[in-house]
Amino acid sequence: MSVLLASETKALQSIQRLKHAAQRTAHAEKAHHTLELMAQPHRWQLANGAVAQVQTPATMRAKELLELYRALSAPVTPANLDGRLDILLHVKWTVQEFDDALTRDICDLVDREADLLNRGRTLKSMERLRVRLNNLVLQFLDDPTYNPRAADFHGP
């Protein structure tokens, strides 16, 4: 009975791990899809039946932020460390336009990751730092204060 109980416990733990991984993946896909929708131009039906696509400053800003998030979320390898430092610098410049707690936290994490990369720390040791940074940047992108297009995707 104890062997059977141990086997069931392992199976349940495996199921929980898989559910957790699926939830993380679904959350990331939903966020990415929403960011892509924000970056699309407005479409209007014209009187002649044609559809006009209009890029507004808000959609251009959303597209710029989407590209920044894609670059930040890309996997890091030892070969592209200089590119990663450039991306981190670009993120810092983008969020420094605003001065509040969220942007200061993002700048702090960017500085910390850049410092650790320059010191030669292993990429694996910075994995949790990158997760935190990605989550904060996602919060930044989802806030209408920083991304005017986000207001269209939130209720009143």
pLDDT, the chain, mean: 92
| pLDDT on residue 28 | 86
pTM reported for the whole predicted model: 0.81
Write the DSSP assignment of 12-63 as a string of letters: HHHHHHHHHHHHHHHHHHHHHHHHHHHHSPEEEE-TTS-EEEE--HHHHHHH
Residue 156: is its pLDDT beyond 70?
no
How many domains does the chain fold into? 1
Asked whether the beta carbons of 122 and 91 are under 8 A apart, the reply is no
- For residue 71, how many other CB atoms are within 10 A of its CB? 15
On whether residue 101 sits in a domain, the answer given is: yes
Q: Which amino acid is at 51?
A: V
Q: How large is the average pLDDT for residues 97-102? A: 93
| pLDDT on residue 76 | 87
57-98 residue pLDDT tens: 999 999 999 999 999 999 888 888 899 999 999 999 999 999
On whether residue 1 sits in a domain, the answer given is: no
Expressed as residue numbers, the domain containing 67 is 6-153
On whether residue 15 sits in a domain, the answer given is: yes
